[in-house]
Amino acid sequence: MPLTADVTERLTADAHQIMERYPVARSALLPMLHLVQSEEGYISPDGIAFCARTLDLTPAEVAAVATFYTQFKRRPNGTYTVGVCTNTLCAVMGGDAIFETLEKNLGSGHDETTGDGTITLERVECNAGCDYAPVVMVNWEFFDNQTPGSAKAIVDKLRAGEAVVPTRGAAKVHTFKEASRVLAGFLDGHENEGVGAGPASLQGTLLARREGWTAPDPGAGTTPVDGTKQKGQS
């Protein structure tokens, strides 16, 4: 469906705000693609044409970027993207079992969307939360230490229209379009909600404090091969 006049006007105003952040206009392409996605729910041919026209790029240049990054969807995405980490640690801790449970429950496989348009299921290579494995993300909000049962409960609530609360981050999960607008660089007022770093993430810092460890002084030289310390190093 072509972009309507009001959507084009809104996108144009926001796109110029994005472009003002960069000395070179084409550097605004990634956030601008997120902006388009926040309106359409995916990157349509008309969205690609809008970015190309606004940034003085060819549609091929824009499409090359839009097809490279998995956060950009080339067909309508669900209201919620449920990403299950199946990389090594999460897989060993149960990530594969979680994905298989959700796949069966939803009747959708990797990068597929449920018939009601609510959930897009994904295998994710890493959710950057290894200290809380296995991790599931919903629109890039963390759900730590999951099990097949707890992950299914989250998805069931989302499909029922109920709010779900991440382990860390915002006070509730927002929609895919809302999350895309934040990724475009427009704050939604929820950035200071919830827990930023949980206990597992802080263990290294707490251990260093307890043991009196400090970072080396970058101006004090390097540690020799034999392991002896130079002056100024701790």
User: What pLDDT sits at residue 231?
Assistant: 47
Write down the pTM of the prediction.
0.84
pLDDT for residue 167 is more than 90: yes
DSSP 58: -
Are 81 and 178 a contacting pair, CB within 8 Å? no
Predicted confidence (pLDDT) per residue in 34-45, tens digit: 999 999 999 999
Predicted confidence (pLDDT) per residue in 62-121, tens digit: 999 999 999 999 999 999 999 999 999 999 999 999 999 999 999 999 999 999 999 999
- The whole-angstrom separation of Cα 75 and Cα 87 is 25
In the β-sheet with 136-138, what is the strand arrangement from edge to edge?
Answer: 112-113, 119-124, 80-85, 136-138, 141-143
* Architecture of the domain made up of 80-175: 3-Layer(aba) Sandwich (3.40)
Predicted confidence (pLDDT) per residue in 105-116, tens digit: 999 999 999 999
Domain parsing of the chain, residue ranges: 5-66, 80-175
Quickly state the pLDDT bin for 224 (edges 50, 70, 90).
low
- The whole-angstrom separation of Cα 129 and Cα 127 is 5
User: What pLDDT sits at residue 169?
Assistant: 85
Query: 134 Cβ partners below 8 Å, 6+ apart?
Result: 84, 85, 90, 91, 93, 94, 95, 98, 145, 146
Options 2.60.40, 1.10.10, 3.40.50, 1.10.3210; which CATH number does 5-66 get? 1.10.10
pLDDT, average across residues 28-53: 97
